[in-house]
Structure 1
Amino acid sequence: MLHKIKLENILFLDIETVPQQANYDALDETSQKLWEAKTAYQRKEDYSPEAFYERAGIWAEFGKIVCISVGFFNFKGEQRSFRVTSFYGEEAQLLKEFKNILSSYFYRPQHLLCAHNGKEFDFPYIARRMLIHGISLPYKLDLFGKKPWEVPHLDTLELWKFGDYKHYTSLKLLTHVLGIPSPKDDIDGSQVGEVYYKENNLDRIVTYCEKDVIAIAQVVLRLRQEELLTKEEIRSV
């Protein structure tokens, strides 16, 4: 089935998230109590709420998106290219810009969104943050009432599972075993918050996010047993 999908109908994406505040002490009292209650099971007795707060970016209720990178294929005859662009900065604005690309260019029934672990993380996280900011959901993220086969999402983690629901494979591991250049040559997801708040280096985060998008596209090509993208075929726009 994967071979039947036209590559140009897929929008590949990745998001980078951080805690809403630089540290736990910056939260108001209500948020602190809600954070303690939300993470009680994960923390157990190993971490205090203050120490565990560095992981707050994982939850849409306590984190925020600082970058959404997208990529898509373009074909002109036999010539193939892959274009990458990013939305970053103030969250409400980047979400509106991302929604615009879905509403203007990737809104048709044949269009799909693709991410690694996107069904568990990227897609619901974006939808939740949009609603928190009062942004109506674009069709591709509004899943209410849709049957499983009507959901316009591809997930490279799910494709690699082959029905094995117990199995989790990181993007870094998957690219390694498939012989794809690793996107994790600078930072990893656990360091994004520090780079954002302590280094104030959003450009570094954007570069990291775009590398992940390229890696996801490369995984799909490998699963289709097609030639990987070359550096000359990848364009930042």
Structure 2
Amino acid sequence: MKKQNGGYLKTDAVHVDFVNDDGEGFILLDSLYGIEPGEGILETEYLKEEWEITKDNIILIAGDGHSFIALDYEMNPSVPEIIYIDTERGDAHKICDDFDSLMDLMFTVEDDDDEEHDDIHIPTHEEIKAWASSTNMNEVANGVYTWIQDFSMVKEDNLLYEAFAKVFDQGTEQQKITIADAMRTEIENETITNQTLIDLCLTLLRKEVGLDFIIYKEMIEENLADKR
């Protein structure tokens, strides 16, 4: 972490001695959180509350919401253990004794599509925010869509709210439908729980008269009602 402020790793998996959704004997890990104000590992408390993680003395260093990798300082405040937290099952497993040991356990899962994946560009948070603040409506819509789907980006952000409203004010019908569908999916998967963003989405959908918008509004409202 001292050499690089988070980002993608050269490997994409870690050997473990427990079974999980990624497979038997390994977990997927292709990136680490960085250290940025309001982002990365500094989001630990926000993410713990968001995903109802009750374990204390930890710092989250990677994860997608359904599971996390964390530094666990409970046993040793100086040299934290590395643990795997499964938020869906509500349990945790020790991976190894320290970060150096974690690096020794890292490896690359063989994938026939590796060459194809190498050509895929994954936008950074800065790029996504730049799109959202662009004067080009296509970039704004793309920024909002990507921001919504990027679990690691905080949704409590005025830039996101403003860009979201801008798409519904100036964007095409297809751009609005795409974003509405993304919101529906993320709310259904409980990866978006920010009430301000949800309320904004519903308010804008209620102003639309197209059948698609009415359907998305009703689906979101029904999903929220089921969760109460």
Bin the TM-score by the shorter chain: under 0.3
- Compute the TM-score of the two structures, normalised by the length of structure 2: 0.25
Structure scoring higher RCO (CA < 8 A, sep ≥ 6) equals 1
- Compute the TM-score of the two structures, normalised by the length of structure 1: 0.25
